[in-house]
Structure 1
Amino acid sequence: MSPEGEQVEAAGRVWATRAGISLGPLDLIADGAARNYVLQIGDKRFHGFVVRRGEAVFGYVDRCPHAGLPLAQQLDQYLTPDGGLIACSWHGAMFTVEAGACVGGPCVGAKLSPWPVEVREGRVVTA
């Protein structure tokens, strides 16, 4: 895609957040599940999601590297039925939870863009 196309596509969106934004208690995300977050940043929005594995969290920008679409067509439905992988509901791309690496579907070898998050004192916070 050309840089000009990237700019048009990105209108109204930002692809990163500053550190220190509290996203809420870890308990808002069920263990083995994911949760969507939309943050207003100035006049733009950031779309991301967080997957929980025990006390660990993994955050990603909600944008498939294959077609640039958000991964989930239904709110918070980012994982395969067994919860083992992140799945794009549009074209079937599959990604590892821990690294965001595409291991199946139309973009094998690509990666999700990481969204740095961590757990501090029982809360999920941008890092």
Structure 2
Amino acid sequence: MSEDVAPARLFATPAGVKLCTLETVADGAARNFVLQIGEARFHGFVVRQGEQVRGYVDRCPHAGLPLAQKLDDYLTPAGDLIACSWHGALFDIDSGACVGGPCVGAALTPWPVQVLGGFIATA
């Protein structure tokens, strides 16, 4: 009888992995990515603002949970902050710093991403 064991979770990725075209993520929106790397998985998300993208590990510093309960639902209704849907923590898009909620003073873990030739890729 085999036991189902969750794969190990990674908190970084190698550089140069193409994730999607820039157009795949709407301007002012966010998108989740799960990368299988060997036997482990990385969970992250990107936020697009014009031609710029910011990436973060999908893990709230308050409780260690993924931020979104609903796929790709990382931003406040106004689209100006990243929001944790579990406990209401709010984070600055540019820095990842917690600006409201239960983890003020903490920050999201950056995930280095860049736009290369029209593609969002890990950096």
- Measured against the shorter chain, the TM-score band is over 0.9
Give the AA of the match of 1:14: L
User: Which residue does 2:32 correspond to in 1?
Assistant: 36
Q: Secondary structure at the match of 2:94?
A: coil
Task: Write the letter of the residue equivalent to 2:28.
Answer: G
1:105 corresponds to: 101
What do residues 61-100 of structure 1 show as CA deviations (whole Å, max 9, x unaligned)? Answer: 0000000000000000000000000000000000000000
Q: TM-score, normalised by structure 1?
A: 0.91
More helix by share: 1
In the alignment, is residue 68 of structure 1 matched against residue 37 of structure 2? no
Classify the secondary structure of the residue corresponding to 2:77: coil
The one-letter code sitting in structure 1 at the alignment partner of 2:27 is D
Identity across matched positions, percent: 70
Q: Give the Cα–Cα distance (whole angstroms) in 1 for the partners of residues 30 and 52 of structure 2.
A: 12
**Unaligned residue ranges in structure 2 (runs of 5+):** 1-5
Superposition TM-score, scaled by structure 2 size: 0.94
| 1:11 positional shift | 6.2
Structure 1 stretches of 4+ with a deviation exceeding 4 A read none
1:28 Cα deviation after fit: 0.6
Following superposition, the deviation at residue 12 of structure 1 comes to 1.4
Deviation at 1:113, TM superposition (A): 0.1
Cα shift readout 1:84-126 (whole Å, capped 9, x = no counterpart): 0000000000000000000000000100000000001110010
Q: C-alpha separation between the residues in 2 aligned to 1:11 and 1:33? A: 28
Q: Which amino acid aligns with 2:46?
A: V
Distance 1:93 1:11 in 2: 27
